Chains A and B, each alone.
Chain A
């Protein structure tokens, strides 16, 4: 089980590193997505129980997985997807206006 937490930590740090060090808009978006996915993985791990079944409250199923993290994971995925869509839309608009995907060249606002 511990190794999964390690995977989550590695993914999260990888995503953060990608976001902070790259200057390409698409790569920044990918980095944010990797961070988001690591949290979804963490949520799924949280509710997992060995040999647990779907959360149906009945006598014959004694071990069930925790349903709340799964609901949260679904919501987090939806939110992540909508943010990604909006970011990609803005990337298209920025590329049309500035003719570049390099964020260090997109700086008309300063001060």
Chain B
């Protein structure tokens, strides 16, 4: 029961106590950072094991139910919390050798970013969600500008304008919800959302879709993402692309499914918005990625495309589609993390950002290039890898529900991505006569991506174990009434599949 709140307290405390550690025990800083990262990872695992059958609620300050702020964790939230802490731990260890300047500021901000994301996943209160949303956003703006270059400031400002307008739209949606229901608690909203008039519900849905959509790069609203993700330090790009955009997507899903019943969503044709928005996002992302010659920009566009796959899975609107979407969220977070980290190593070593300048780098940096190659083939969705499994689930779910165009576009998108990733891989392994000037960098830098890429093995060869957890995740999304009944001691528990 108590670990829910510790998951938010530990990173927050670590972020702010880092200053004192640096002042009095500067030698212990690295160990302190890593041990905190490990601690929240273990806490989130123990939380996931607890919530897998039964969602938990925690009332802050022991206020009576419904009066104060509460934290609510269901299987989906627990799963995402484990994903966030796992990727963050790897990023923290990678940053120890990657970030050389302004370390203190960097780690304080990074721990705050982790706090914000965990808060968004674990919260059970709409306004609390908004506060954590803004914490995550503000820290992301700052971290994008961390390199202190002109283009970094430009990207950060662009991100910030779009981000603050989306934040205002979400605040407006939350105010409208509160006005007609009188509550902000997500579990109570399941019942009281009936009081919202239908017209107002449509307005709220549009506000939420635009607000959160511009945060997870739904296609017409994606323009900030390639700039922000490519100019940030590589460790931050890995976190932003891998986890942060997924957390915003989760927040949209959680609020939408609490306020609307599934039948209402289908009547409003919101599933088609997700489905065809996903198709457009996927194809645009892949086509624009094909034209890029900057390595990190290409990876950022590829992230947009992967969001498209996830949206298609959500748009299918049944358990199978959501399972595929959640599995793809996990796969993409892991793989894109590795890709950005290895791209960071390659760029750091060759001092060049363009793909054409990295020709023949595989002969200088065999390990990093090999990890990059494996991960690129993974994200394309070739059979032995884990992304293949999630894409397979998504495609079959779309076909079974009768959506032919999205299923075909998944295949077309994978083909396009194969073409541009193969282009890079071939370039990496082309022999060149003149040697690239290479700076020596610490060997530990390759440890992070190596460790993270080892997790492909369990993801690819033992998917059943993970699917066991994933199968339970969409339950409370599709049947939010259970969410209310369990948490607030309602009349009856409708059973897993009843």
Contact = CB atoms under 8 A, between A and B. Distances in A.
A86 B179 CA distance: 31
Contacts of B405: none
B175 A93 contact: no
Nearest to A97: B150
Given A39-B175, A46-B178, A94 B154 contact: yes
B153 A87 contact: no
| Chain A: number of interface residues, binned into ranges | 20 to 34
8 contacts: A25-B157, A35-B168, A39-B171, A46-B178, A46-B179, A79-B134, A94-B153, A94-B157
A90 B168 contact: no
A35 B170 CA distance: 12
Contacts of A91: 157
A16 B172 CA distance: 13
A90 B175 contact: no
Given A35-B168, A39-B171, A86-B138, A72 B150 contact: no
A90 B145 contact: yes
Nearest to A32: B164
A68 interface: yes
Interface in A54-108: 68-69, 72, 75-76, 79, 82-83, 86-87, 90-91, 93-94, 97-98, 106-108
A39 B157 contact: no
Interface residues of B, number: 35
B231 interface: yes
The 9 A-B residue pairs with the shortest CB-CB distance in the complex, in nearest-first order: A97-B150, A109-B227, A93-B153, A79-B134, A90-B157, A35-B168, A94-B153, A83-B164, A32-B164
Contact of B131 (A12, A75, A90): A75
B175 A42 contact: yes
A50 interface: no
Contact of B160 (A39, A46, A90, A108): A90
A35 B169 CA distance: 9
A57 to B, nearest CB: 11
Contacts of B141: 86, 90
Given A32-B164, A68-B184, A106 B171 contact: no
A108 B150 contact: yes
B153 A97 contact: yes
Contacts of B297: 111
Central interface residue in A46, A68, A76, by most chain B CB within 10 Å: A76
Contacts of B134: 79, 83
Contacts of B165: 16, 19, 32, 35
A72 B129 CA distance: 12
Interface of B: 127, 131, 134, 138, 141-142, 145, 148, 150-151, 153-158, 160-161, 164-165, 167-168, 171-172, 175, 178-179, 184, 226-227, 231, 291-292, 294, 297
A86 B160 contact: yes
Contacts of A87: 157, 160-161, 164
B250 to A, nearest CB: 21
A90 B156 contact: yes
Given A90-B156, A94-B153, 14 more contacts: A12-B172, A19-B161, A25-B157, A32-B161, A35-B165, A39-B171, A46-B175, A68-B184, A83-B138, A86-B160, A87-B164, A98-B154, A107-B154, A108-B151
A47 B243 CA distance: 37
A82 B292 CA distance: 35
A32 B161 CA distance: 8
Contacts of B158: 109
B175 A43 contact: yes
Contacts of A32: 161, 164-165, 168
Contacts of B171: 39, 76
Contacts of B142: 86
B132 to A, nearest CB: 11
Contacts of A106: 154, 157
Contacts of B168: 32, 35-36, 39
A109 B229 CA distance: 12
Contacts of B148: 93
B127 to A, nearest CB: 6
Contacts of B155: 109
B172 A39 contact: yes
